[in-house]
Amino acid sequence: MNIIVPVKQVPDLVEELEIKEDGTDLEREWLKYKMNEWDESALEEALQLKELHGGTVTALAIASGDVDEMLYTCVARGADRVVKITGDFEEHHDSHTAARALAAAIREQSYDLILTGVQAADDLDGQVGVLLATYLGIPHISVVSGIEVEPMTHTATVRQEYAGGIMATFEVDLPAVLGVQAARAIPRYAPVSRVRQAMKTAHIDEVDATIPVGAGITVRRMFKPESTEHAEMLEGDVDEIVNRVVEILRERGIWRA
Amino acid sequence: MTAVEPERIHEKEVAIQDGVDISGHWNRMFDERVIWDFDTSKLDEVTQIEGAESLGACYQCGKCTPVCPVDHVGDYSPRKIFRKTQMGISLLQSADLWLCTTCMNCLRVCPKEVNMIKIMPAVREQAVLAGNAPTELSQAFENTFRYGNPLGEPARKRADWAKDAGVPVPILAQIHRPVDILWFVECYPAYHPRGKDAARGLARIFHALGVDYGILGVEEKCSCDSQRLAGEKGLFEMFAEHNIKMFSKYQFNTLVTADPHALNAFKHEYPKYGGDYSVLHYTQFLAPLLDRIPFKKSLPYRVTFHDPCYLGRHNGEYEAPRRLLEAIPGIELTEMARCKANGYCCGGGGGGMWLDSFSRPHVSERLSERRVREAVSTGADVLAVCCPYEISRFEDAVKSTGNEGKLIVRDIIELIDESMRG
């Protein structure tokens, strides 16, 4: 079972976010980045599947920022191979560009399964897996929270969880792209000595993916939530407040007695 | 383990001893059972780890059990850990691995020098590498790795506490001159709300005494001693290298810290990585300067003092904090039964700060709660501390044991500062 996990970094919310002057992006100079948490789940699920069925796990990332450190952390967690996609794309590309670049890099690889995080916290777009599967011409299921692989029939049985506690089970032919909502275990900790060892000994393969810039989304305006109205604070003793509450309920037509 | 094999049973058909016929099954003898007849694989699993060899030296005298702080609230001690490995229970897989606070009271009394201060980090390191560290501990490791502090606070805000100190706090990168004292602030004083109170107090004391000092500010990262003792050696090494590099950028005579855990790292561990400094805990630095501290107000407190494990047992300092307390006008010092070399642990050391919910099912109450009850029983109205882990642990314990209003918890810094401010 050879599994590919595309991973990316998102801004770490430990630092306060600021918006660039032109109002279309974050002020990125002081940002700290961390691995997208859904990607961490996808990697964990891949490592668990490898432990069950053997094979390899490859983590794949588009070159930007301190992506090397993230890839070394993937090695420390148990990835067999890490690949960095280089090319002529902007530092902060959208899902469409990312999916094209990933597809170009993955097309040349052999794989049984591609696990993506279902979405990333920075754009909540959730389209990388969908587009990647489309470009590769293979099936895709998103928002997956349980994966069982059947190596004999080369299929996977996956679960989706809906609102209200309803579950759905799908069977899908492999290779396929699955968008992971949650892994079967909490993403494992990468011991620092392993990360440091990986930094010294692991090799990051580089794949060039020159791709046409995809038509994606354009950010027109980025802004912090603006408060329009404030809550009315009721003051006075208990009777006054209760009378006022009753009055408000009547005014709004919520209570008709 | 098997029952005694028949060939090891010796019974003479006719036995005559000193002319008396003692034939019969009462002359039955067994071969001596040598230690290797037991399954030692679980003990070997521990003793083959570099640093953990001394567990094998335990001869079960049990002196450690009554002084082990965890045994007071649970069922635990080095002797018991050894016995369990003999019985085939793997320490690497057991919750026992994470309950030791590395307080060192066992080593103080152990005639065989079974050294849990070395055993625990060595065995825990193997568990961390195997991915078996408790989740909340891993979170503290991850926070330290990412932000330079286990609390998960922004690295950029490491010196923000200084803004409200009321006195200037010199940052070495900004002052461009040698200093006498490099004050290593450390994480809890830099970020924890109650730790910051003490950090600001110490800045005011330094200012009043005219101490020539500077801090590293955002260049400082966790000393990582507790992470090391909790099994994250790689993290410790990475941060030791970082801090040593930062220290090498500046000229100073002495390192001073308010955190006994940092003191311990600088005294005993950093030299192994090329960082050898003259280091003092703030109590050791201030005690000789006592007659220069401008005390104003008399504090009408009955105070009892909790010895931090890493200042007392680990680094042999019992007198400096007591000298400071006794010098504060109005304070009456009373001792708890367990004090100085036999001081009871607060539960925060060796990673205990980040194992609270993991430990809860294994203990009847927190070590800090047991200690607060002891402090209350002395009739003291202030529990004085001088380790930044203790202030929050004991304040929480005062509340959870229903002693709110009976006991307040103060760093010695805060008491000095309170008297100085008048």
A141 to chain B nearest CA, in Å?
30
Residue A2 parent element (H or E): strand A2-6
* A50 inside domain: yes
Mean pLDDT in residue range B97-112: 97
Give the number of other Cβ atoms within 10 Å of residue A184's Cβ. Answer: 13
* A89 inside domain: yes
Chain A residues near residue B152 by CB distance under 8 angstroms: 14
Q: Which two tokens stand for residue A257?
A: 């007695």
Among candidate residues A171, A176, A150, A174, the one with its CA nearest the CA of residue A160: A171
* Residue type, position B59, single letter: Y
Q: Compare CB distances from A186 to B135, B156, B233 and report the shortest one's residue.
A: B135
Residue B279 parent element (H or E): strand B279-281
B194 to chain A nearest CA, in Å?
21
What is the extent of the structural domain holding A151?
A: 2-208
DSSP, collapsed to helix, strand or coil, labels residue A226 as: coil
What is the per-residue pLDDT for B36?
63
* A256 inside domain: no
A255 to chain B nearest CA, in Å?
43
Among candidate residues B360, B321, B133, the one with its CA nearest the CA of residue B231: B133
What is the per-residue pLDDT for B87?
87
Mean pLDDT in residue range B359-378: 97
Q: Compare CB distances from A194 to B129, B152, B156 and report the shortest one's residue.
A: B129
Residue A228 gets which letter from DSSP? -
Mean pLDDT in residue range B220-228: 98
ipTM of this predicted complex?
0.82
A205 φ/ψ angles, rounded to the nearest 5 degrees: -70, 145
Among candidate residues A165, A100, A84, the one with its CA nearest the CA of residue A135: A100
Q: What is the share, in percent, of chain B residues with pLDDT greater than 70? A: 97
Interface probe, candidates A47, A193, A195, A197, chain B, greatest B C-beta count within 10 A: A193
* A237 inside domain: no
Question: Where on the phi/psi map is residue A165: left (φ > 0), alpha (ψ -120 to 50), or beta?
Answer: left
**Average pLDDT over chain B, rounded to an integer:** 95
**Do residue A192 and residue B232 have CB atoms under 8 angstroms apart?**
yes
DSSP, collapsed to helix, strand or coil, labels residue B386 as: coil
Instruction: Give the C-alpha separation, B224 to B236, whole Å.
Output: 5
| Segments of chain A scoring below 70 in pLDDT | 91, 212-215, 257
* A44 inside domain: yes
Find the closest chain B residue to A187 by CA distance.
B135
What is the per-residue pLDDT for B139?
96
Question: Where on the phi/psi map is residue B312: left (φ > 0), alpha (ψ -120 to 50), or beta?
Answer: alpha
Instruction: Give the C-alpha separation, A170 to A178, whole Å.
Output: 11
The predicted-structure confidence for B67-87, as pLDDT tens digits, reads as follows 999 999 999 999 999 999 988
Q: What is the share, in percent, of chain B residues with pLDDT greater than 90? A: 90
Instruction: Give the C-alpha separation, A74 to A80, whole Å.
Output: 9
Domains of chain B: 6-35 (no CATH), 38-129 (no CATH), 149-288 (3.40.50), 294-421 (3.40.50)
CATH of the domain at A157: 3.40.50.620
What is the per-residue pLDDT for B10?
79
What is the per-residue pLDDT for B37?
67
What is the per-residue pLDDT for B3?
64
Find out whether B70 and B363 touch, Cβ atoms under 8 Å. Answer: yes
Residue A62 parent element (H or E): strand A56-62
Please report, for chain A, how many H helices and E strands are present, in that order.
6, 11
Give DSSP secondary structure letters for A107-163.
TTS--SEEEEES--TTT----HHHHHHHHHT--EEEEEEEEEEETTTTEEEEEEE-G
Q: Compare CB distances from B154 to A15, A186, A189 and report the shortest one's residue.
A: A15
The domain tally of chain A equals: 1
Cα→Cα distances B14→A223, B8, B402, Å: 102, 18, 73
* A110 inside domain: yes
A191 to chain B nearest CA, in Å?
6
Cα→Cα distances A205→A58, A81, A98, Å: 10, 8, 18
β pairing state of A56-62 and A2-6: parallel
Tell me how far apart the terminal alpha carbons of chain B are, to the nearest angstrom. 71
What is the per-residue pLDDT for A228?
83
Find out whether A7 and A59 touch, Cβ atoms under 8 Å. Answer: yes
Does A29 lie at the interface with B, CB-CB under 8 angstroms?
Answer: no
* A220 inside domain: no
The predicted-structure confidence for B184-200, as pLDDT tens digits, reads as follows 999 999 999 999 999 99
A43 to chain B nearest CA, in Å?
15
The predicted-structure confidence for B284-295, as pLDDT tens digits, reads as follows 999 999 999 999
Instruction: Give the C-alpha separation, B271 to B273, whole Å.
Output: 5
Q: Which two tokens stand for residue B158?
A: 């490491």
Q: Is the pLDDT of residue B6 over 80?
A: no
Q: Is the pLDDT of residue B33 over 70?
A: no
Find out whether B150 and B348 touch, Cβ atoms under 8 Å. Answer: no
**Do residue A14 and residue B147 have CB atoms under 8 angstroms apart?**
yes
Per-residue pLDDT band for B114 (boundaries 50, 70, 90) equals: very high
pTM, entire model: 0.88
Among candidate residues B197, B277, B185, the one with its CA nearest the CA of residue B223: B185
What is the per-residue pLDDT for B1?
47
User: How many CB contacts within 8 angstroms connect chain A with chain B?
Assistant: 45
The predicted-structure confidence for A70-91, as pLDDT tens digits, reads as follows 999 999 999 999 999 998 777 6
What is the per-residue pLDDT for B23?
82
Tracing tokens 């090329």 back to the chain, one arrives at B274
DSSP, collapsed to helix, strand or coil, labels residue B408 as: strand
Find out whether A125 and A97 touch, Cβ atoms under 8 Å. Answer: no
Tracing tokens 């290797």 back to the chain, one arrives at B36
Instruction: Give the C-alpha separation, A52 to A46, whole Å.
Output: 10
DSSP, collapsed to helix, strand or coil, labels residue B355 as: coil
What is the per-residue pLDDT for B32?
67
Give the number of other Cβ atoms within 10 Å of residue A227's Cβ. Answer: 6
